[in-house]
């Protein structure tokens, strides 16, 4: 068990990108890429590892991927998931 659990650990996800936060009762819809990133983070993948996964799975410029991932991290930090 993780000695420092986060709200990220509590999120419920489905394969269609639906995310439910039981702490707030709010639900969200993620893109396929966003869902993959969130699942990776739940499994303990580092930010660098998430970026590497995106670059491996998608045909995207590394700078664009990094910018988009930084924006994604900012959003989930605002939600209190990290």
Residue-range domain boundaries for the chain:
7-78
pLDDT tens digits along 11-57: 999 999 999 999 999 999 999 999 999 999 999 999 999 999 999 99
pLDDT tier at 3, thresholds 50, 70, 90: low
Q: How far, CA to CA in Å, does 67 sit from each of 10, 12, 64, 76, 78?
A: 26, 26, 5, 15, 17
The token duo for 58 is 């998608």
Is 46:37 a contact under the CB 8 Å cutoff? no
- Look up the pTM and report it: 0.86
């Amino acid at each position: 068990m993780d000695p420092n659990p986060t709200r990220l650990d509590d999120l419920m996800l489905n394969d269609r990108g639906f995310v439910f936060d039981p702490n707030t009762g709010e639900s969200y819809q993620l893109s396929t890429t966003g869902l993959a990133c969130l699942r990776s983070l739940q499994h303990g993948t580092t930010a660098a590892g998430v970026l590497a996964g995106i670059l491996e799975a998608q045909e995207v410029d590394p700078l664009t991927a990094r910018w988009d991932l930084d924006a994604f991290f900012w959003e989930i930090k605002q939600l209190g998931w990290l």
